[in-house]
Amino acid sequence: MSNVIENQVDESYLSAARATKKRHNIFARLWLKAYRWGNRWNERRKAANTLARLNGDQLKDIGLSRDDIKRDYSRPFWR
């Protein structure tokens, strides 16, 4: 009888541990997604600042115009 109770306790503990692990995995994935989102936004911001410092001749050399920069880098960070 003692083994039956111990097995039930062990199973309930393992089930609770699995649920906690899943919850931690969800938070870790959400955190990682938010981090990547923020990192992508920061990289776009730095690229836009770098392109904004170029003069018209330099932009022409790489095939861009001021309008291209405004269109591509003025979007909100969530797009």
pLDDT tens profile 25-38: 888 889 999 999 99
**Has this prediction a pTM greater than 0.75?**
no
What's the token pair of residue 23? 């919850």
- Domain chopping of the chain, boundaries: 2-73
What's the token pair of residue 52? 């904004």
pLDDT tens profile 7-54: 565 666 666 666 666 777 888 889 999 999 999 889 988 988 898 899
Residue pair 51/71 in contact (Cβ under 8 Å)? The answer is no
Residue 58 pLDDT more than 80? Answer: yes
